[in-house]
Amino acid sequence: MTVRDLRRLWKPHKERLGDHPTAVRFHRACSWLDQAEKFQNDESIDVKMIHQWIAFNALYGQWDAAYGEPAPDRQGWKALLARIIKIDAAQHVAGALVENKKLAAIIVGDKYLQRRFWREPNSKAHGSPGTAAAEMNDLIYRGEWLRATERLMEAVYLLRCQLMHGAATSGGRMNRLELKNCTRMMDHLIRAILLVWIEKGADEDWGEMCYPPVAKVGSSAAANSAQ
């Protein structure tokens, strides 16, 4: 399902909601996912990953009014996943996991995408990648969709942090396999989440979004609103 398809399905909600934050979140997410679709070659796969995560971030981002800045990422995306899976009557997220369970197991089992590996990269005491992959398969088999999705997203989030914190080289060779796997999985997951958003999330309260659109002083929009 392309971004165009998702926007077409969302159109009735868009017309009804107008500039409501729920509609703005969806619009922002699709704008970045649309750009991500354009990066097809391996040379730009890191840029694709960044665009995918921004699309995801548009949905989960929360504003911390006390500090005047976005709330921490991890608590934001975990809260979003919990709510999405709870209202996912058609089990779009579950379907994405089942259909791509081999890929999900590979990602979770990749030692370079595990936080414990980076605590002591040169240690020989790391757990077996096969064990982590088996645990992921077991979660999917038992239908523990939230735990499975969180495990998977923790691995993707680690890769996201490498990119966004300047801990990887643009177009570098060392994380190509991880990027290929994670971008493939993010494609499936984000589209599944957006389908849930369309079917069950239009009237949900998704919290205060970060940096809502505002009309600039002196702009035509501001002038029109004053008339």
Residue 40, domain extent: 3-213
Q: Look at residue 224 and tell me if it is in a domain.
A: no
- What is the DSSP code string of 112-178? GG-HHHHHSTT-S-PPPHHHHHHHHHHHHHTT-HHHHHHHHHHHHHHHHHHHHTT-S-TT-STTHHH
**Domain count of the chain?**
1
What's the confidence (pLDDT) of residue 50?
Answer: 96
Which pLDDT value is given to residue 121?
79
Residue 194, domain member (yes or no) = yes
pTM of the model: 0.91
Does a structural domain hold residue 226?
Answer: no
What are the Cα distances from residue 19, in Å, to 83, 139, 169, 213, 214?
Answer: 22, 39, 38, 9, 11
Tens digits of residue pLDDT in 159-206: 999 999 999 988 888 889 999 999 999 999 999 999 999 999 999 999
Average model confidence (pLDDT) for the chain?
Answer: 91
The answer to whether residue 227 sits within a structural domain is: no
Q: Is 160 inside a domain boundary?
A: yes
140-149 residue pLDDT tens: 999 999 999 9
Which pLDDT score, from 0 to 100, does residue 130 have? 80
Residue 119 lies in a domain: yes
pLDDT digits (tens, 9 = 90+) for 61-97: 999 999 999 999 999 999 999 999 999 999 999 999 9
179 inside domain: yes
| pLDDT, tens digit (0-9, with 9 covering 90-100), for 198-208 | 999 999 999 99
Please count the helices (runs of H) and the strands (runs of E) in the chain: 11, 2
